[in-house]
Amino acid sequence: MKWRTPFISRFFLLLFLSGLTACSVRKYIPGDETLYKGAEVDVVTDGGKGAKKAVTQELHTLLRPEPNATVLGMRLGLYYHYKSQRKKPGFLNKWLNKKFGEEPVYLSDVDPQRITELMRNRLDNRGFFYSKVSSAIDSTRDYASVAYSAELSKPYTLQQWKIDKDSLAIYGELEKAMAGTRLKAGERFDLELLKYERERIDGVLKGRGYYNFNPDFLIFEADTNRYDQRKFDLFLRLKKGTPQKSVIPYTIDSIAVYPNYSIENDSLPKPWATTEENGIYFVQEEEFFKPKRLEPYILFEKGQEYNAETARLTSNRLSDLGSYKFVNIRFNENDTVSADGKGSLTADIFLSPLTKRSVRAELQAVTKSNGFAGPGIALTYNNRNVFKGGETFSLTGDFSYETQLSGSQNSGLSSIAGGLKANLLLPRLLPFSPSRFNYAVPKTKISLGGDFLKRSQLYTLTSFNGSFGYTWKANRFVFHELNPINITYVNLSNTTAEFDAILEKNPFLSSSFEQQFIAGLTYTFSYNELVDENKDHPIYLSTSLDVAGNTLSLLNGGKSTAFGLEYAQYAKADIDFRYYLKWGKESALVSRVYAGWGIPYGNSSTLPFVKQFFSGGPYSVRAFQIRSLGPGTFSSDEDGNSSFFDQSGNLRLEANLEYRFPIWSYLKGAFFVDAGNVWLTNEVEVDEDESAESIAFNQRLATEGKFGSDWMKELGIGLGFGLRVDIQSFVIRFDFASPLQVPYWPEGERLRTPFIDGGSNNLIFNFAIGYPF
């Protein structure tokens, strides 16, 4: 696919000229109106540059209304609005106004007196009492702006704070709570800080049994009478008329759990259907959830003081079991007060189950960067709470057929793939006793599955895998996954003469298929700030470790086989770091750096084929087809489908930069730059007993694929643009990319003009589900 350069040039020239005409909105401004251009704030203070900058930024947030937006000095949104108001605006102008138009903002819409009042109030709240704020209008016939000036007075600063207490026991708790205060002597008066302190103290008291307390019951009073200078004392006390029930702590008198509660009929089981476990009553007519399995997830106990945070964590843990649709914890006050002046609560926990069994069928249409496409089907069966302890069992089977429609001289090749996988997820750590992880429920995952792939004219690949491990969230951002047992067996069979020739020619590739038994440990750590939508600069970090063969080597006394199979020994690690710079509603600049390295050792000279790194494709360097980069400057001289076998390595480096922006409704756009490649860091063994062709091939692979000091010159670099249909986080992605640097071309000829040079390979189309990173 080639670009028609003259057409593109004329298109952008027309777009530029239309933009210039949009500069002229003056003729559309009504004669009795003046267009508002915006406002500036000048702050005068002797409190230092830091204080001036902070106050200036805060006062800017009070400026209302916002003027019409400009792009390179052009008010395009306003221009589209004016054009659409004509008697015959035309379809294009009406559409542009609907999507990008803005109502005009005139000087008559601005109330400078109101803004100055808001500024004075804000300065009072920040301790700058009796400051002077003024405004002035700078106006011509068509345009006007407002200049605000704030002359800050010397701020009031805190001398000391005290608790104005009486005999109530709650004042002792207030003293303990104030030990963590942010109120410090010498700090400027700040109303927002006082509001924060009230909320913080309320949270502390709610954690110490004060079920009925409210931050509005607290009052801070400032006293300036003792000082001639601008200083004040601060006194904290309870408001008069605070209810008696709000100043006494509460303990939990009883706990009742309803494991099979139905919201639809709002009916409760009969009282006789009750069992007790560790002081907690479980009410269920027919055992739905075993009490001994459910009890560890309830963090509060009979006789404990009420704690709002413990109740919240309990609700989170019960929801995280994966068996319940709704979790509702209700606390009810008892009428009696104990001799020590404490109230009591009853706790009722209502749990509404999810549907126990479900079956899901998916029809799939797959297209890949290597030219393969075809239909597929997947069936998944889920059984929740299968052993009445929150366990989830799932069984997934899939089958697909693909044929190579394009992408090589060997079009028409086909493949049949299928698999069956069973997972059992238990909401606890086995074989350990139930753990009281406060944030979330740790889970044990047991998996067993098998897959087969029959590639016509090449081979049949059958694999079996099993794993036993744990997953848990340490907090909102941190996730761990540890699999101490991870076993994979791969069997290559029914190879054709064509594929045997590939292996014979490439002993390095052949050795990666020989070690078919992989047994080891994997660990993944991830830190993800994207879960906090309020962060403008979130980061994502993921790193993993994969170590295989060490335990088998110890158990077998260093022998290279186990159970009659040669096993692999290697260590592999990678790291994926992403930084998101977000602004506006949906715009973001996303940068990503990835590095992965695998080291074979012991009885392994190469990484197993399924563990090697590759580069290129829709989730990598998008200007190159999948597995078409590397190692280094190497390029397979095989034609068609078989070539990608050669192009992998044990070191991978990549970097990506992508600008994402909204276009219209669910349609988003992106511009991106990708760079990366794979290399070999181990020596490629050259066996003199091999054929001359094999020796030459391995020598070329060793020379061209080895990682060295010139690795940056060997990066595959591409740039492009994309369209994405994003519907509630389900993303269909279309990316168009073109190479900028081609590493397997001769040195000095690797740079090229994207979308222009390169013949039929100047445009690579990627279709994928989900964002690339």
Residues 258 and 164 in one domain: no
- Cα–Cα distance between 191 and 193 in angstroms, integer? 5
- Look at the block and give the residue holding tokens 């890949």: 368
Q: Domain containing 37: what range?
A: 5-151
- In this predicted structure, what is the pLDDT of residue 552? 82
SS (HEC) of 24-86? CCHHHCCCCCCEEEEEEEEEECCCCHHHHHHHHHHHHCCCCCCCCCCECCECHHHHHHHHHCC
Please report which confidence band the pLDDT of residue 141 belongs to, taking 50, 70 and 90 as the band edges. Answer: confident
pLDDT per residue over 303-313, tens digit each? 999 999 999 99
Check residues 273 and 471 and name the one with the higher pLDDT: 471
Residue 377 near residue 400, CB atoms below 8 Å = yes
Domain boundary among 353, 376, 398: 353
Say what the pLDDT of residue 8 is: 44
Which pLDDT band holds residue 642 (cuts at 50, 70, 90)? very low
Length of the chain: 773
pLDDT in tens, 731-743: 889 999 999 999 9
**Tokens found for residue 197:** 């302190």
* Pairwise CA distance, residues 741 & 751, whole Å: 5
**What percent of the chain is modeled with pLDDT above 70?**
89
Which residue, chain included where needed, has tokens 């700040």? 190
Pick from 303, 323, 353: which residue ends a domain? 353
First to last CA, the chain: 27
Regarding whether 515 and 594 lie in a shared domain, the answer is yes
pLDDT band for 13, please (50, 70, 90 cuts).
Answer: very low
Asked whether residue 338 carries a pLDDT value surpassing 70, the answer given is: yes
Helical (H) or strand (E) element with 196 = helix 191-206
Assess contact for 681 and 503: CB atoms under 8 A. no
Residues 191 and 98 in one domain: no
- Residue 215 is classified by DSSP as G
Report the distance separating Cα 602 and Cα 552, nearest Å. Answer: 12
CATH, residue 256:
3.10.20.310
Tell me the pTM. 0.77
Residue 272, token pair as written in the block? 């006789």
Alpha-carbon Rg for the chain, nearest whole angstrom, is 34
Clarify whether residues 109 and 172 are in a common domain.
no
If asked whether residues 639 and 564 sit together in one domain, one would say yes
| 403-419 pLDDT per residue, tens | 865 444 445 578 898 99
Q: Tell me whether residue 596 is in a domain.
A: yes
pLDDT(14) > 80 = no
| CA atoms of 442 and 424, how far apart (whole Å) | 14
Residue predicted with more confidence, 677 or 274: 677
Residues 521 and 596 in one domain: yes
Backbone angles phi, psi at 169, to 5 degrees: -65, -25
Is 175 contained in some domain? yes
Would you state the pLDDT for residue 271? Answer: 63
Task: Check residue 6 and give its pLDDT.
Answer: 44
Q: Is residue 416 part of a domain?
A: no
Please determine, for residue 704, whether its predicted confidence score (pLDDT) is greater than 80. Answer: yes
Number of domains in the chain: 4
pLDDT value of residue 7: 44
CATH, residue 687: 2.40.160.50
| 309 token code pair | 């945070």
Give the C-alpha separation, 219 to 368, whole Å. 65
In a domain, 134, yes or no: yes
Domain identity same for 145 and 235 = no
Which pLDDT tens digit goes with each residue over 176-217?
999 999 999 999 999 999 999 999 999 999 999 999 999 999
Residue 17 has pLDDT above 60, yes or no: no
Strand partners, 138: 145
